[in-house]
Amino acid sequence: MLVYINSDEVPEKYIRYALNLARDLDLNAKFLYVFDPTDYPLGIPGTTGDRVLLNRRNVGLVTDNVKRGFEDLFQLMETEIPDHPPMDYYIEQGFPADVISHESEKHEARMIITEGSGNEDAFYLGETDMEIIRRTDRPVWVIPKNKDYEPMRNILYATDYQHEDIKTIKRLKYIAGVYSANLTVLHITDDLDFNEKIKSAGFQKMLVEKTGYRNIEVRLLADNQAKDVSKSIDDYAFVSGANLIVMLKENEGFLHRIFGKSTTGEMIGHTHIPVLVYHEPENE
C-alpha cells in the first residue's frame, strides 16, 4: 500500500488510519512524502551563490522535519498498534502525481492512499487527488482529513451500470470479504422502469453468480438530470450508513456528472466517507 503524505507536518490520524487499513487488508505500508518544487521554489535559471545555498538549506529543513515526523509517529504506532503491518517511509522530489505514478509501479503497489482536502464542513477531492486518479492505474483510496478508522461494514458501489462493473465488483469482493461487508450496488438512472427491469431480469442474482460475492444488494436511485448527482449519492450513503463509496474511473461520463469537469472533485459533501476509485486493468 503506497500512502501519499501531502504535508510536511506528518498527520497522526492519517498515519494511524493507513496502518489499520493495511493491517486488515494484509498489505505492507510504504509512506511517501513528495517534496513539490512548486511549493518551495528553488530559484530561477542562472541563480548562483547565497540564494541557491539558502534554497538548498530550506529543502533540507523541510525534509529533516518530515523525517522527524515519521520517526516520532512510527515509534508511537509501535506501541499503539502492536500488530501493525511492515512499514517504512521515503522522501522524493518532483511533481506528486508523476512521482506517485512512478513509485506505484516501481514498488508494485496494490493501491494508493491519499488524504482528501477540506475541513469539518466539507470533504472533497483536491486537484492533486484528481490528478493521481487520472495518472495512475492503481486503485486510489481517498481518506477524509481527521478520519478515524472503522471497518468497512457497508460498501456503496455507485454506477450507472456498465459491463465493466462486473470485473470491478470481482476485484472489490476481496475488500468486502475481509470485512464481511454488505455491498450495495447503487444504480443511478433516469429510467423510472429500471427497478422493474432489475427484478424481471434477475439482475441481482446475476451479479451474485458472476462476481461470486453473495452479500450484494441492488438499489435504484432515480436521477431526473436536474438533481445534483453527488448530493444524491452523498445523501443515500449517509442514510444507509455506508462507510466506503466505490466508483470506476473508466466510467468517465458518470464521473463527470459527479465531479464535474473541473480539476477538483466536489464529492463527498458533509458525510466524510472515504472514496475508492478503481481503474479497469488493460489486460482485462
- For residues 18-47, average pLDDT: 79
Question: Could you report the per-residue pLDDT of 90-123, keeping only the tens digit for each?
Answer: 999 888 999 999 999 999 999 999 998 776 666 7
CATH number of 2-143: 3.40.50.620
Q: Is the pLDDT of residue 284 over 50?
A: no
The CATH code of domain 154-278 reads: 3.40.50.620
The pLDDT tens digits for 75-90 are 999 999 999 999 999 9
Helix ranges restricted to H, the chain: 12-24, 50-80, 96-106, 127-135, 164-179, 194-201, 203-211, 229-240, 252-259
Residue range(s) in the chain whose domain bears CATH number 3.40.50.620 = 2-143, 154-278
pTM: 0.84
Q: Which amino acid belongs to residue 280?
A: E
| 257-282 pLDDT per residue, tens | 555 544 335 554 555 789 999 887 65
> What phi and psi, each to the nearest 5 degrees, are found at residue 96?
-50, -50
CB–CB of 205/172 below 8 Å?
no
- How many residues can be counted in the chain? 284
Contact 80/106 with Cβ under 8 angstroms? no
Q: What is the pLDDT of residues 165-200, one digit of tens each?
A: 888 888 999 999 999 999 999 887 766 566 665 655
Q: What pLDDT shows up at residue 46?
A: 44
